């Protein structure tokens, strides 16, 4: 099994609905995101996927969140924009964009609110 990892970041604001505490108020983060993909078979040039392509896919997904109030995005109209749900959002969007790469699948996405606090989403 091969695993690749890329990192990027975005800045945005959110607030947590039905939360008892400071996070129920509008606030922002400089989020760090770690994307891990995996696959068992390398392509014809013996790589899983070009790091450049993988970074571009992640950057494209993060651009949907960057400098936005996350609560206003359609995905988060009903879902609380917690770190857990943001990780899932990124996972699902990257998974969709990797459909053209049959040998590559998303393993997990980790979202860091701070360097000391993160949430990870995976399907297994």
| Alpha-carbon gap, residue 32 to 111, rounded angstroms | 6
Give me the CATH number covering residue 95.
Answer: 3.30.479.10
pTM for this model (two decimals)? 0.95
Residue 73, domain extent: 2-121
- Looking at 9, 27, 60, 67, which residue is catalytic? 67
Mean pLDDT of the chain: 96
**pLDDT, tens digit, for every residue of 61-102?**
999 999 999 999 999 999 999 999 999 999 999 999 999 999
- Looking at 9, 23, 60, 123, which residue is catalytic? 23
Contacts of 94 (CB under 8 A, 6+ apart): 35, 37, 57, 58, 61, 106, 109
Q: In total, how many domains does the chain have?
A: 1
Q: Catalytic annotation on 14? A: no
| Alpha-carbon gap, residue 77 to 7, rounded angstroms | 27
| Alpha-carbon gap, residue 85 to 47, rounded angstroms | 31
Q: Catalytic annotation on 9? A: no
Strands of 27-39's sheet, edge to edge? 2-14, 27-39, 105-114, 117-121
Q: Catalytic annotation on 113? A: no
Q: What is the pLDDT of residue 50?
A: 97
């Amino acid at each position: 099994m091969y695993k690749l990892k890329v990192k990027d970041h975005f800045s945005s604001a959110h607030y947590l609905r039905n939360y008892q505490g400071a996070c129920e108020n509008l606030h922002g983060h400089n989020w760090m995101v770690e994307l891990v993909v995996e696959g068992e078979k390398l392509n014809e040039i013996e790589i899983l996927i070009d790091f450049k392509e993988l970074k571009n896919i992640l950057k494209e997904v993060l651009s949907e969140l960057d400098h936005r109030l996350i609560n206003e995005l359609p995905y988060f109209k009903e879902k609380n924009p917690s770190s857990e749900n943001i990780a899932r959002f990124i996972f699902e969007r990257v998974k969709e964009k990797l459909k053209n790469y049959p040998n590559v699948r998303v393993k997990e996405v980790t979202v860091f609110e701070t360097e000391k606090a993160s949430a990870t989403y995976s399907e297994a």
